[in-house]
Amino acid sequence: MIKKFTAIYIIFFTIQISLGQYKQLSSSAEVSIITAGPGNVLFESFGHSTIRIQDKILGIDDAYNYGIFDFDTPNFYLNFVKGNLFYKLEKYPFRYFVRSYKRQRRWVKEQILNLNQAEKQQFFEYLENNAKPENAFYSYDPFFNNCATKLRDITELVLQEKVTFSDAHLLTKISIRKLTNKEIPWNSWGSFGINLALGNRLDKIASAKEYMYLPDYILSGFKNATINNNQAKEKLILKEHYILNYKELKHEIADLNPLLVFSILMIIGVVITFFDYKKNKRSRWLDFILFFTTGLIGSLIVFLWFFTNHSTAPNNFNFLWAFAPNLVVAFYISKKISKKWIKKYVKFLLVLFAIIPFIWLGKIQELPTSVMPILILLVVRYLFLTKKLLPSKK
């Protein structure tokens, strides 16, 4: 009997400690959604989102930031390539958050949530628990599990069926790829890399919640959301204001942008092909470069598709022009006397190219716009090779 009462006491004592481990927020407490504008570098292009909890009576004013990663983490770069990237929640004084964005001259806007005292406490306790070292890390996905989507998911977890995120403010429904392309200039190396590496999962029409992988749509999504208070629907946002009201930074297109570089390469390649045709010769070095480069890019696409955990890498139809076997064929086509099968292989590549317009215009996958000059060059060169795969004079 003594052991039984002892066990009950231990359980009761443990529960009391568990319930009492977090401070009780005062009536002045506020829970806010914080949105920051875009920065100058690629990983800052989409802006940022975080949660702020402030209680002036208790002297609390902290940011709960789900966008923290550490380059010094073991195997960081290998895990990044493989799609096994872990971000973490980090809690720190909100003034440090503001100071960082003030230094970069990026706007910061605050939206104070319309919550009762119990709901504020739930947010606080959830975030405090999540910020513990054993809970802080999470598997990051740039489109489906990032610093912005975490805010949406936490709000739904805490408020459950009381909160409703509306899509009434979304005038048009577009794909995640188009949403991404709106944030990064299409004729930039960052946009080219993203649209080259990622498959057609990004080309499906995004739902209202999927829009919210972008901080801008966290801002508008929360602004248009409602909360059910005592059987009455109210705005989820109580009030909003700018903490920092800087003009939004715009991305500048580099002088050596993809379209310019690829257009120059196209002109050079087409001119060489024209003179090859007129002189009845074949510049084997050009064929080697084209086949080796497209094969190398294609091999990267295959690696990302089949050998990594990137959720958006599969089903990448860029393989139709960046064909991985070209990497091997490059060494055969560079020889003076070509194998007979190579001409059939080149004709097969032209068949793959014929599929591209149906993929693109059919909205199965949008390929990088800036790659068009390279596609034109490859078609011209492949057509030439189907006629001129003969012993080269040079």
Per DSSP, 42 falls in state G
Cα separations in angstroms, 159 against 42, 118, 123, 143, 226:
34, 10, 9, 23, 11
- Backbone φ, ψ for residue 57 (5° rounding): -70, -40
Residues of the chain scoring pLDDT < 50: 1-20, 391-394
3's tokens: 């052991």
Task: Please report the pLDDT score of residue 118 as a whole number.
Answer: 96
Task: Please report the pLDDT score of residue 76 as a whole number.
Answer: 65
Q: Where are the beta strands (DSSP E) in the chain?
A: 30-36, 48-55, 60-68, 86-93, 108-113, 137-139, 163-164, 226-229, 232-235, 237-244
**CA 394 to CA 92: how far, in whole Å?**
67
* Residue 261 DSSP SS3: helix
Cα separations in angstroms, 169 against 42, 77, 90, 217, 223:
27, 39, 32, 10, 10
Query: Each residue of 262-294: pLDDT tens digit?
Result: 999 999 999 999 999 999 999 999 999 999 999
Task: Please report the pLDDT score of residue 91 as a whole number.
Answer: 97
Residue 359: half-sphere exposure toward Cβ, Cα within 13 Å: 18
49's tokens: 């989102």
Angle value at C-alpha 318, between 312 and 323, nearest 5 degrees? 125
93's tokens: 């004084």
pTM of the model: 0.86
Query: Each residue of 58-104: pLDDT tens digit?
Result: 999 999 999 998 766 677 667 767 778 889 999 999 999 999 999 99
Task: Please report the pLDDT score of residue 229 as a whole number.
Answer: 86
Q: With helix as H, strand as E and coil as C, how does 375-393 read? A: HHHHHHHHHHHHHHCCCCC
Report the C-alpha dihedral over residues 235, 126, 87, 207, rounded to 10 degrees: -30
